Copies of this chain bind each other. A is one copy, B any other.
Amino acid sequence: MNFFSGLLNSLFERTSNLLEGYQASDDKLTSLCEALLSTKGEVSGIAISEQILNHYRRLDREDKRAFFIYLLTEMDIDVTAISSSIERYQRSKETTNYRAFINAAQPRRRNFFRRLNEVPGATFELVSMRRDLLSLLAENPELGVLDIDLRELFISWFNRGFLVLRPIDWTSPAHILEKIISYEAVHEISSWDDLRRRLAPPDRRCFAFFHPSMPEEPLIFVEVALCAELPSSVQDILSDGREPTPEKEIEYAVFYSISNCQQGLAGISFGHSLIKTVVAELSQERPKLKHFITLSPVPNFARWLARQNIQDGPDMQPAEAFLTAHPEEVRALGACYLLQAKRENDMPVDPVARFHLGNGASLYQIHEGADLSPRGQKQSYGLMVNYLYEREKLIENHEKFVKDGDIKAQPKLHELARKYKDKLSEKS
């Protein structure tokens, strides 16, 4: 416990009443936006920003759309200024020329967002603003340009070095835990008792990344089971009434659930860092831990299978029908899916596989009947998969994967996949 612990608290106790008396000459949102970027904005501090955020919060969907289009069109980059400044820089690489280009290359709205972010607590509001924006992209694809600016800012603001790893356990504050319950995206947390079973036992751990400027909001969290043996299903991990694994028998750290919490941070990836940081944390805490491994879902398996035909003896039939007749073949078909089903860019169809293999993990085991929840049954016929994190092999695995699309997997799994390799074909 030391001095610095109080730093964060202060963030939220801050007051900003210095210029509370400030009133924009007219209270339209766009006037406020212009005022913020004018000389008034410089001295009025965060008063105008607060007004804008208050305004924004009360907008309905249509007004938000209009606001975004305003930012898109009225605060865009000045193409002419860019062209002429980059030309000058090309001619002479002087500092002033570079500065002119860098200034021109940033649309006014970047500075606008930065000013908004000066309000204590605004970071979370801007993340919510991007969530709103993303929800409009399908209808207004032109807003993608605006999203690029927000994303660029978020990449700076949510730089990995600013994130803080925090253990989440049964002594954590209830209002944080309630968010863990609501954000869990993989294996639903059904009640506070369910949560307790995941957090309180000594062989269960949970870690989340937080950002100092939105300390009440986890960004991403991972749930970990410490086990004596590799569990073959998520039911084993989540079962009620089980005995905690004795400290001395623990050999495996099983990452059985990773959930992103903020839709407004989509595409700003924290998962890679989280796993590595937690592996480092647990390694240091328990030098005897031997294996770091996931128990992961196979989210698109059923959807993929529905598009396959299979050669069963002389006949060709839908793969789904085949699997219904031969349920014992599910692991083999799962192996086919994971190892052979590729997108055009030679990357696996399965997003979870892409994530872990891209991280340098290897495919270790496939378990049937491993997720008996309705969702697990529906999306993957109950299949779950282990990805193994071996420190010394991460870079090698990663490089082969991204360069050549090579998937590192246990030989048995490659063998299993070969079983139906030539018999599967995409439905026409």
Contacts and interface: CB of A to CB of B under 8 A. Distances in A.
Contact of A172 (B3, B9, B82, B272): B3
A4 B8 contact: yes
Contacts of A7: 8, 164, 166, 210, 212, 215
A22 B403 CA distance: 19
A280 B156 contact: no
A286 interface: no
A99 B148 contact: yes
Most buried by B among A18, A94, A171: A18
A185 interface: no
A95 to B, nearest CB: 3
Interface string A167-178: 000111111111
A159 B18 contact: no
Given A6-B2, A98-B145, A166-B6, A160 B118 contact: yes
Interface in A40-58: 40, 42-46
Nearest to A86: B82
A171 B161 contact: no
Interface in A111-129: 114, 117-120, 122-123
A89 interface: yes
A66 interface: no
Given A105-B105, A141-B95, A43 B166 contact: no
Interface stretch (A254-262, A309-317, A387-395): A387-395
A411 interface: no
Contact of A148 (B102, B149, B165, B284): B102
Most buried by B among A17, A45, A46: A45
A135 interface: no
A353 interface: no
Contacts of A141: 95
Contacts of A212: 7-8, 162, 212-213
Contacts of A144: 94-95, 98-99
Contact of A159 (B118, B173, B273): B118
Given A95-B148, A152-B102, A159-B117, A277 B142 contact: no
Interface string A82-96: 110011011001110
A361 to B, nearest CB: 10
A276 interface: yes
A21 B192 contact: no
A428 interface: no
Contacts of A11: 164
Given A2-B6, A17-B283, A22 B395 contact: yes
Given A7-B212, A86-B83, A170 B161 contact: no
A306 interface: no
A147 to B, nearest CB: 8
Contacts of A175: 170-171, 200
A5 interface: yes
Contacts of A19: 276, 391, 394-395
Contact of A161 (B118, B166, B272): B118
11 contacts: A2-B171, A5-B5, A14-B280, A15-B281, A83-B90, A102-B149, A102-B152, A162-B213, A172-B173, A174-B199, A192-B192
Interface of A: 1-11, 14-19, 21-22, 39-40, 42-46, 76-77, 79, 82-83, 86-87, 89-90, 93-95, 98-99, 101-102, 105, 114, 117-120, 122-123, 141-142, 144-145, 147-149, 152-153, 155-157, 159-162, 164-166, 170-178, 192, 196, 199-200, 210, 212-213, 215-216, 272-273, 276-277, 279-281, 283-284, 358-360, 391-392, 394-395, 398-399, 402-403
